[in-house]
Amino acid sequence: MTWNLLIDSDCIPVALRAGARLACQAGSLWVTVEHAQARRSEDIVLLPGQSHCVTETATYFLSALRGAGAVQCRITAPQDARLALRLA
């Protein structure tokens, strides 16, 4: 299952499972992870055509990079699971 999102100026928290894939289709996607255990989170920036495989089940904050306009993002479920998009 796949979800397509258009993100303008909001930061959208999304609960994702390990194995899901985030892909940037247009714009610049800024991704931050809220880890289950308190630790530093590296920001991820995806440009059109780039993707990131989710390595841990957690809440991911998705937003358009400031000043870069809206971003189109695709979220694909892990191979062995259905995607249940749940806004955190």
What pLDDT score was predicted for residue 86? Answer: 58
Domain boundaries, the chain: 2-80
Six-digit token pair at 2? 């796949």
Rounded to 5 degrees, φ, ψ at 7 are: -110, 125
Per the DSSP assignment, residues forming a β-bridge with 38 are: none
The answer on pLDDT for 63 being more than 60 is yes
* Gap between the Cα atoms of 42 and 67, Å rounded: 20
83 to each of 30, 57, 59, how far by Cα in Å?
A: 21, 12, 14
Read off the pLDDT of residues 11-51 as tens digits, 9 standing for 90 and up: 899 989 899 999 999 999 999 998 777 677 789 999 999 99
Contact 24, 47 (CB under 8 A): yes
List the CATH code of the domain at 2-80.
2.60.120.10
